[in-house]
Amino acid sequence: MTNSTPKYILFLFAAISVILLFIIINWVWEKTMGGGNNNTEGFENPQYTYLPSKKTPNLSIEFGLSDLAIDISNVCEFIKVDNQLKGTERAIKNVSESTPKPTEEPAEDYTVPYTELQIYKMYNSATGFSTTSNESIYKMMDQTYGDLFDSTKIGKMSDQKIADMWNSNKSIRQDNHIYNLLNYFVIQSKLANRQCSSTNKSAIGLSSYYLQQIQKNKESSSILLSLKKSFYSIIKPRFLVNTLSNLYWNNAKQITNSDKGTYNSTIFVLNTYAGLANKNTLSADLAEEKVAKIISEDTTFTMDALWLYQLGSIAIELIRFIERFQRDGGVTSGDGKPAINTTPEKIVSGYPIYLKKVSQVESQSPILFFMENLPDNSDCSVVNDLVLSFM
């Protein structure tokens, strides 16, 4: 007696096999080659266009925000390779692979557990780096911004005095200029009538929005608290990387001595910058209780635009961090030589070679394009405003 299987069963089995094979191949492609759709934890990959000058309308780059996040982490890896810091074997991994989360430092990058590093202990004590809570970092942020959201301090002030107090805060000016620069050259890049905040004083930017809300609700402690939490949620990444940089440079000699001839602390800073770029907490932070709704029909802000600001601020702080080695780097190693010799010019010349080597394909880097094609100050003088704010 012959045992024959119906043809429709064989056909169904073959179809399922093909589908499963396609799924497996697609999964492998996404994991190893990126599949052209890189996603950062917390967000998808919204697309933006950077147009550096109205004089050259055809010179632009379209990029995804997840691509930019990964690009920042790749620059951090390049800096480690360029300076022959320990742990650079990680750099041979596929260029599209995200770096570890902030609390998942790669052990092979260090000669001792990173939790034993003085820079880690200082940073963790100041910001609560090892936890997912915002409590420690928000308390630290209060030292810089807290009085501006305190009804007992500003409740009886005139609006002009509050404005003077707000605008005299250097960190707020820097945050505002970064947002306004990205707003003009990226967020509004496809608009025919872009509004430059430097010339159009009625344009509502990050700083002007919060100032207006603070003035309007200066006697309400509950509303000011909710505004403070939303403001902190937005500026948190730049505050974190800036805090880490300050801790590193203010204690550079002590940290170098404790590293005992290694570059563990320098690597920790670069890995933390990369981790903050690759893990986005903005949506979760803004969704917490008693946080003002910054994303609403009453505002011009979007979640993607605020994420762009956060990534742009991390990239700017990274460049500022490596530039300082040219001036103060002598204390960052035992032999008096800077731990990092990479300059912005070296990134422009060497980073493309690095990308091609590790990915085996031509990769378009948003950061590299930006550095090669800086925003035109004659289009919008916020460029000059930003430069002056850091001087």
Query: pLDDT tens digits for 2-55?
Result: 445 454 444 444 444 433 333 333 333 333 333 344 555 555 789 999 999 999
Q: What is the DSSP string of 197-266?
A: TTT-TTS--HHHHHHHHHHHTTT-HHHHHHHHHHHHHHHHHHHHHHHHHHHHHHTHHHHHHHHTTS-HHH
Q: What is the DSSP string of 277-304?
A: HHB--HHHHHTSTT----SSTTSS--HH
216: amino acid identity, one letter: K
Contacts with 330 (C-beta within 8 Å, 6 or more apart), sequence order? 336, 337, 338
**pLDDT digits over 212-241, tens only?**
999 999 999 999 999 999 999 999 999 999
Q: Which long-range contacts (CB under 8 A, 24 or more apart) does 316-319 make?
A: 316/178, 316/238, 317/238, 317/241, 317/242, 317/245, 317/273, 318/72, 318/75, 318/76, 318/241, 318/273, 319/344
Residue pair 42/281 in contact by the 8 Å Cβ criterion: yes
**pLDDT digits over 170-212, tens only?**
999 999 999 999 999 999 999 988 989 888 777 778 999 999 9
Q: What's residue 72's pLDDT?
A: 97
Give SS3 for 132: coil
pLDDT at residue 109 tops 80: yes
- The C-alpha atoms of residue 295 and residue 286 are separated, in whole angstroms, by 9
pLDDT at residue 254 tops 60: yes
What are residue 64's DSSP bridge partners? 47
Using a 10 angstrom Cβ sphere, with 0-12 exposed, 13-18 middle and 19 or more buried, the burial of residue 323 is middle
Cα–Cα nearest to 229, from 174, 308, 293? 293
- The C-alpha atoms of residue 233 and residue 42 are separated, in whole angstroms, by 14
Which segment of 93-102, 139-148, 150-159 scores lowest on mean pLDDT? Answer: 93-102
- The C-alpha atoms of residue 366 and residue 373 are separated, in whole angstroms, by 10
Q: What's residue 31's pLDDT?
A: 36
- The C-alpha atoms of residue 313 and residue 324 are separated, in whole angstroms, by 17
Average pLDDT over all residues of the chain: 85
- The C-alpha atoms of residue 174 and residue 170 are separated, in whole angstroms, by 6
Q: Average of pLDDT values for 239-250?
A: 97
CA 208 to chain centre: 22
Percent helix / strand / coil, the chain, rounded to 5: 60, 5, 35
Q: What's residue 38's pLDDT?
A: 54
pTM assigned to the model: 0.85
Using a 10 angstrom Cβ sphere, with 0-12 exposed, 13-18 middle and 19 or more buried, the burial of residue 337 is exposed
Q: CA angle 380-381-384, nearest 5°?
A: 140
Residue pair 262/331 in contact by the 8 Å Cβ criterion: no
Q: Average of pLDDT values for 90-110?
A: 48
**pLDDT digits over 331-370, tens only?**
999 889 999 999 999 999 999 999 988 876 667 899 999 9
Strands (DSSP E) contained in the chain are: 47-50, 61-64
- The C-alpha atoms of residue 130 and residue 132 are separated, in whole angstroms, by 7
Residue pair 255/119 in contact by the 8 Å Cβ criterion: yes
